[in-house]
Amino acid sequence: MVGCVPNLSEGRDSRAIERIAGEVREAGCRVLDVHRDPDHHRSVLTIVGERANVVRGILSMVETAVQEIDLRRHRGVHPRIGAVDVIPFVPIAATPFAECVDLAREVGAQIAGRLEIPVFLYEHAALRPECRNLADVRRGGSAGVAERLRARGGKADFGPDRLHPTAGAIAVGARRFLVAYNVNLATDDVSVARTIAATIREANGGLPGVKALGLSLPSRALTQVSMNLTDVERTRVVDAFDWVAEEATRHGVEVLESEIVGLAPRVALRGATTDRLQLTRDLADVELETLIEAG
């Protein structure tokens, strides 16, 4: 069994999102969760299935997403490089990690060949050291990617040396299961969220395996510390929440709520309760293993 957590640059049109997710279901995969955010203008699908079904489903999903999403009209607070922004493959249960690496490279090549979209391989699927870190691939957004494609030696791993006119580019990778976790603050001052995000990042001496951004949520007049927890053995969701809550108190700001984007493995939720984290969904609805076992 293989997992895939594609991120789509569409978080507002429920019809389009359902049509895209429906392609994956038609291929025989299970869509465990669909998380959409109108301010991020982004949706995250959590998919599991047998390898052949996942390949077929992801390819159909990308083809439909290209029909439904025009990046030229996209306005959202989350960084992005494509209509389908990232496609990470993750091992589930006893699946060898090497299989996810092979799968990412296979799917990346097929996407580029079918749709003429430049594909960059990242993390464990990367073929070049400069593409291993997703943040480096996505640096500068689609404009930054376009500039690097024009530059000498800035070619994609697969596909053309120019962005697709409406779908941009896609990063396809293989990684361990990470947790995308957001904490919303009761303030519209984005500088507070950005300051807290800077302190919690591992790169700045914060928590291990944490990447973070401070974002504005204009539709709700709130701000958000948006995090990826990439090493949940060392940094659990409760650790991230406690850090943000303590920093928010220092700035005189209240934590309003927190949310897990998509699903989280059981190990990441040790010590957590729905109330303690002020979660927008019950823990039982976000625990990966529980939802797999229920199916």
Tell me the catalytic residues: 78
Element (H, E) at 286: none
Distance CA 279, CA 286 (A): 10
CA distances from 22 to 15, 50, 62, 92, 295 (A): 10, 17, 12, 22, 18
Inter-axis angle of helices 51-68 and 97-115, to 10 degrees? 40
Amino acid at 214: G
Identify the CA nearest to 81 among candidates 140, 5, 158, 165.
Answer: 140
Distance CA 49, CA 225 (A): 32
Distance CA 183, CA 237 (A): 11
Identify the CA nearest to 181 among candidates 51, 64, 281, 52.
Answer: 281
* CB 20, CB 61: distance < 8 Å: yes
Tokens of 274: 């729905």
Distance CA 45, CA 23 (A): 12
3-state SS, residue 247: helix
